[in-house]
Amino acid sequence: MLQELSSASIQVGLEMNLHKTQVMTLDNRSILLNNHPLETVDEYVYLGHLIQLGKKNQTAEINRRIRASWAAFGKLGYILKNPDIPINLKSKVFDTCVLPVATYELETYHPNKK
């Protein structure tokens, strides 16, 4: 399938970057494309969402979102901790800059039973 994708891409003037191409498989076997081994990974970030195989996927993504939210909060610490800035302005900054980081794509989560 990858060879067909590569051939079709070349026909329209595109070329796959084999150094950036990663694959994720269940059996961790090596995959060659044009005699070049592709990097096999256990997880990757795609469109801002951490992808992993198995049930750990949701937990890992939630932990990643929490870390990203704390990072956004830390970057805005000079605003949020400044006593001269009114609380209503701090609230607006938090709601527009920190909360979206934590809740990005949250509406697409499907709760799993453990």
Residue 6: closest CA among 30, 38, 34, 32: 34
> Could you report the per-residue pLDDT of 42-53, keeping only the tens digit for each?
888 777 777 777
Residues 104/48, Cβ–Cβ less than 8 Å: yes
> Could you report the per-residue pLDDT of 55-84, keeping only the tens digit for each?
666 777 778 888 888 898 999 988 888 899
Residue 93: closest CA among 83, 85, 102, 105: 85
Model pTM score: 0.52
